[in-house]
């Protein structure tokens, strides 16, 4: 059956609109905090999704008469937005990419602001036996050997970068020539959405501890099966535009200073206690022993 030119053109037009919408959405504020005269744009993932950024912005905006636009993006995308001068600040957990950004000169003030850690969660029956693993790489190897469902964000986020590094350490390519079946599932969604999907299909997933604390009350089929390997410690840094890049740069720089200040660190280190009975992040003093 031949496809008419009109149908082809219509399909191409729809595809173009979807791509354009995705590009525009990447630069759109997921939320705006405060109503100050000057807006600062910040890109991050889980700290925004879990409410930490809102608490930090509330205090900072009050003191500087600013407002803050949160653009929801994983670490890879957040750094890309910073590089392309679409945002003033990135709060990320991708150490190698962060260092390269500073080295290349399009980001400054890489400051350690805190940490959480990754948990490998999975079905309570643990068909891959990762509860007995000796390392994160061993846990991944067991999952691959059993071909149990494993969910990957597959989005170049800090989590995805860490996941791929662990597969590499285990000498496994989950999409290599030996790959059979469909146990390796790419979601292209953020942390909480992927965690909930893993719960729905009884799959393994590497979630950050903060998301687990916030979401575990709604998780019915999964439990934390592996944690504690130092490679799973997740350090966060703040970076901003170099001096002279936009009228918001001065306040972006001040926000980085605020994150590292005693006041900012208190908010980070205590966030979650009131909501969940336990802190969701460690402060920079704790995180520096794992900083790299």
pLDDT digits (tens, 9 = 90+) for 231-275: 999 999 999 999 999 999 999 999 999 999 999 999 999 999 999
pLDDT at 4: 54
248 shares its domain with 107: yes
Query: Could you tell me what percent of the chain has a pLDDT over 90?
Result: 87
Per-residue pLDDT, 281? 98
My answer on whether 93 and 132 are in the same domain is no
Domain boundary among 213, 232, 251: 232
* Residues 162 and 226 placed together within one structural domain of the fold: yes
Burial 138-161 (b: 16+ CB within 10 A, else e): bbbbbbbebbbbbbbbbbbbbbbb
Tell whether 131 and 211 lie within a shared domain.
yes
* Cβ-defined contacts of 195-203 (< 8 Å, 24+): 195/121, 195/219, 195/222, 197/151, 198/121, 198/122, 198/149, 198/151, 198/222, 201/149, 201/151, 202/122, 202/123, 202/149, 203/122, 203/123, 203/148, 203/149, 203/150, 203/151
Categorize the per-residue pLDDT at 15 as very low, low, confident or very high, splitting at 50, 70 and 90.
very low
pLDDT at 180: 56
The string over 29-50, giving b where at least 16 C-beta atoms fall within 10 Å of a residue's C-beta and e elsewhere, is eeeebbebeebbbbbbbbbbbb
Confidence band (pLDDT; 50, 70, 90) for 26?
low
**Token reading at 92:** 């990320």
Asked if residue 45 lies in contact with residue 78, where contact means CB atoms within 8 angstroms, the answer is: yes
* Residue 267 located in a structural domain: yes
End-to-end CA separation in angstroms for the chain: 58
Query: Residue range 286-290: average pLDDT?
Result: 96
Is residue 274 in some structural domain? Answer: yes
* pLDDT at residue 200 is higher than 70: yes
Q: Between β-strands 205-208 and 108-123, what pairing exists: parallel, antiparallel or unpaired?
A: antiparallel
Please indicate, yes or no, whether residues 217 and 164 belong to a single structural domain of this protein. yes
Can you give the length of the chain in residues?
A: 292
Domain containing residue 161: 117-232
168-190 per-position pLDDT tens digit: 999 998 775 555 568 999 999 99
> Could you tell me if residue 10 is inside a domain?
no
- CA dist 228 and 15 (Å) reads 44
Does residue 207 lie in a domain region?
Answer: yes
User: Is residue 211 domain-shared with residue 71, that is, in the same domain?
Assistant: no
Any idea what the CATH number is for the domain that residue 285 is in? 3.40.190.10
Q: Which two tokens stand for residue 43?
A: 């890109």
Confidence of residue 101 (pLDDT cuts 50, 70, 90): very high
164 and 153 Cβ atoms separated by less than 8 Å: no
Question: What does the pLDDT read at residue 22?
Answer: 45
Total number of domains constituting the chain = 2
pLDDT band at 292 (very low <50, low <70, confident <90, very high): confident
CA distance 209 to 252: 27
Question: Are 215 and 124 contained in the same domain?
Answer: yes
Q: In sequence order, what are the beta bridge partners of 31?
A: 70
Q: What is the pLDDT of residue 245?
A: 96
Is residue 183 located within the same domain as residue 259?
Answer: no
What is the Cα–Cα distance from 235 to 92, expressed in whole angstroms?
Answer: 8
Average pLDDT of every residue of the chain: 91
Clarify whether residues 45 and 69 are in a common domain: yes
pLDDT of residue 174: 78
Please state, in angstroms and rounded to a whole number, the distance separating the CA atoms of residues 100 and 38.
29
Strand partners for 40: 68
pLDDT at 210 over 80: yes
Instruction: Please indicate, yes or no, whether residues 239 and 249 belong to a single structural domain of this protein.
Output: yes
Q: What are phi and psi of 255, to 5 degrees?
A: -70, -40
Which of 209, 232, 255 finishes a domain?
A: 232
- The yes-or-no verdict on residue 1 having pLDDT over 50 is no
């Amino acid at each position: 059956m031949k496809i008419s030119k009109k149908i082809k053109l219509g399909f191409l037009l729809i595809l173009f609109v979807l791509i354009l919408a995705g590009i525009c959405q990447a630069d759109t504020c997921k939320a705006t905090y405060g109503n100050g005269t000057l807006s600062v744009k910040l890109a991050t993932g889980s700290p925004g999704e879990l409410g930490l950024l809102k608490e930090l912005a509330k205090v900072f905006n009050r003191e500087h008469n600013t407002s803050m636009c949160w653009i929801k993006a994983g670490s890879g995308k957040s750094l890309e937005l910073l590089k392309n001068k679409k945002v003033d600040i990135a709060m990320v957990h991708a150490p190698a990419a962060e260092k390269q950004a500073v080295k290349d000169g399009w980001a400054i003030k890489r400051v350690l602001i805190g940490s959480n850690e990754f948990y490998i969660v999975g079905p309570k029956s643990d068909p891959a036996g990762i509860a007995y693993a000796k390392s994160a790489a061993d846990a991944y190897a067991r999952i691959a050997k059993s071909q149990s469902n494993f969910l990957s964000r597959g989005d170049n986020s800090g989590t995805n970068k860490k996941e791929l590094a662990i597969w590499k350490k285990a000498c496994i390519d989950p999409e290599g020539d030996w790959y059979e079946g469909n146990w390796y599932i790419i979601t292209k969604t953020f942390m909480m959405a992927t965690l909930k999907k893993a719960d729905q299909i009884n799959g393994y997933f590497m979630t950050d501890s903060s998301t687990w604390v916030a979401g575990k009350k709604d998780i019915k089929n999964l439990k934390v099966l592996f944690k504690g390997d130092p490679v799973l410690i997740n350090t966060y840094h703040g970076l901003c535009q170099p001096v002279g890049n936009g009228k918001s740069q001065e306040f972006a720089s001040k926000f980085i200073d605020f994150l590292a200040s005693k006041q900012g660190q208190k908010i980070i280190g205590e966030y979650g206690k009131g909501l969940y009975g336990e802190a969701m992040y460690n402060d920079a003093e704790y995180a520096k022993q794992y900083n790299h």
